[in-house]
Amino acid sequence: MDFDIPDELVALRRSFASFLDHEVRPVEERMLPELWSYAPDREALYDAAREVVRRSAAAGFYAAHMPEEVGGQGLSTLGTALLVEDAAASGLRFGMVAVAPPNPSGPSTMLLAMPRHLWPEYVEPVVRGERTLCFALTEPEAGSDAQAIRTRATPAEDGSWVLSGHKHYITNADRADIAIVFAVTDAEKRAAGGITAFVVPGEALTRGKVQWTMADTHPAELFLDDVRVPADHVVGEVGLGFVAAMDFLNAGRAFIGAQALGLAEYALAEAVAHAKERTAFGRPIGRFQGVSFPLAESKADVESIRWLVYHLAWSVDQGRSPMLDASITKMVATEKAYAVADRAVQTLGGMGLLREGPVERVLRHLRMLRVVEGASGIQQLVVARSLGL
């Protein structure tokens, strides 16, 4: 076994670090008042994020995981996970939009299951950062139990489909140019071939209200009011949409894990720096075991997340579909990273709680990652099943 990061990925990380410093940091610094505000100018934040996405797409980082034939770099899962980690570890809020995964508004390899003649319209502009997506699976009556969705797709006589239903908690649903919508095409089967994924152009969507969260991601409702979708707008095969969604989410666990890893590294570095600098009772607080031992535990957590994430990414690159490893990684990475961020908040004291401080946003984001894309309880379910329980 070789645990060294290949030289070409080391070089890629170096050039990405320079990109973050020169192209993203100035945007971040310009937008700090909005990032700290409780009532930010959302349009200004969105425009700044789009600016970063365009710059990153032009530099080849944003959609590096996509194949070259659609404008990506064909970067490995390990390489992409390293970029996601470094973006999060930079501490830059806009760094996390510079690499598309695990953000569902960016290009997804799932789209490659569409007919090729549709790629120029639905895939390539997303790779270039000109258009955005949303991934519309969750519904008010179907979250963890995603097979319980009620959105229907009924076949019409001319071969097209008519979609009707209500989605909620969908990231970027208020702005997406294109939606991947999951609908029941055979109510009897569902997981075993009854759910289909469709590509729906933004004009056909009815947008619902934005759903404000404690994190900086605010999903929205989406309504499909008898939307007619051509027969060739099916992603993959009719009836295999649920399988495709699970495959997509499993492969994405390396990226959500990498984001948790990067955020944990950043929170730990901030906590250590503060512990060395801040004095109380006549000495740096890091000299008290009550402060240093929790940070030692954080260091152990960061390293255990790292090896789970790298191993999962490597396994995906070997062509495996390691569902159990993916669940363990999602659960351990997000839970442990949250604990690391919580200790960082405690170490920073009042500064830990400030909007203007370095770690408050990190804690909120990691709290979200423990719920989205399969809450920790659902990952535990998968792991328990692997034990025959």
Ligand X SMILES: Cc1cc2nc3c(=O)[nH]c(=O)nc-3n(C[C@H](O)[C@H](O)[C@H](O)COP(=O)(O)OP(=O)(O)OC[C@H]3O[C@@H](n4cnc5c(N)ncnc54)[C@H](O)[C@@H]3O)c2cc1C
In the set 16, 94, 169, 255, which binds ligand X (CB under 6 A)?
A: 169
Interatomic CA distance for residues 254 and 307, integer angstroms: 11
User: Considering CB under 6 A, how many residues would be counted as binding ligand X?
Assistant: 23
Q: Select from 13-21, 38-46, 156-164, 370-378 the region that touches ligand X (CB under 6 A).
A: 370-378
Q: Return the number of the residue (210 or 339) whose C-beta is nearest ligand X.
A: 210
Question: Residue 283 CB: number of other CB atoms within 10 A?
Answer: 9
Interatomic CA distance for residues 162 and 154, integer angstroms: 5
Using rule CB under 6 A, residue 103 touches ligand X: no
> Closest residue (Cβ) to ligand X?
143
Torsion angle, alpha carbons of 376, 381, 382, 387, to 10: 130
Using rule CB under 6 A, residue 219 touches ligand X: yes
Question: Closest approach of Cβ 101 to ligand X, in Å?
Answer: 13
In the set 76, 77, 80, 217, which binds ligand X (CB under 6 A)?
A: 217
For 122-175, give the secondary structure using H, E and C.
HCHHHHCCCCCEEEECCECCECCCHHHCCCEEEECCCCCEEEEEEEEEECCCCC
Question: Closest approach of Cβ 374 to ligand X, in Å?
Answer: 6
Q: Select from 110-118, 156-164, 232-240, 366-374 the region that touches ligand X (CB under 6 A).
A: 366-374
In the set 104, 129, 252, 257, which binds ligand X (CB under 6 A)?
A: 104
Using rule CB under 6 A, residue 363 touches ligand X: no
Paired with 180 in beta bridges are 135, 199
Using rule CB under 6 A, residue 381 touches ligand X: yes
Cβ–Cβ under 8 Å, residues 136 and 167: yes
Within a 13 Å sphere around the CA of 371, how many CA atoms are in the beta-carbon half? 11
Using rule CB under 6 A, residue 213 touches ligand X: yes
Question: Closest approach of Cβ 145 to ligand X, in Å?
Answer: 6
Q: Select from 37-45, 57-65, 163-171, 256-264 the region that touches ligand X (CB under 6 A).
A: 163-171
Using rule CB under 6 A, residue 106 touches ligand X: no
373 belongs to the catalytic site: yes
**Smallest Cα–Cα separation from 257: which of 196, 213, 315?**
315
Q: Return the number of the residue (247 or 317) whose C-beta is nearest ligand X.
A: 247
Paired tokens of 53: 């996405």
Within a 13 Å sphere around the CA of 196, how many CA atoms are in the beta-carbon half? 25
Cβ–Cβ under 8 Å, residues 102 and 108: no
Tell me the per-residue interface mask from 170 to 199 with ligand X, x by CB under 6 A, - otherwise.
xx----------------------------
Question: Residue 388 CB: number of other CB atoms within 10 A?
Answer: 5
**Smallest Cα–Cα separation from 9: which of 57, 55, 77?**
77
In the set 15, 18, 144, 386, which binds ligand X (CB under 6 A)?
A: 144
Using rule CB under 6 A, residue 137 touches ligand X: yes
Tell me the per-residue interface mask from 293 to 332 with ligand X, x by CB under 6 A, - otherwise.
----------------------------------------
Interatomic CA distance for residues 94 and 80, integer angstroms: 17
Catalytic residues: 373
Question: Site residues (CB under 6 A) for ligand X?
Answer: 104, 134-138, 143-144, 169-171, 213, 215, 217, 219, 368, 371-373, 375, 377-378, 381
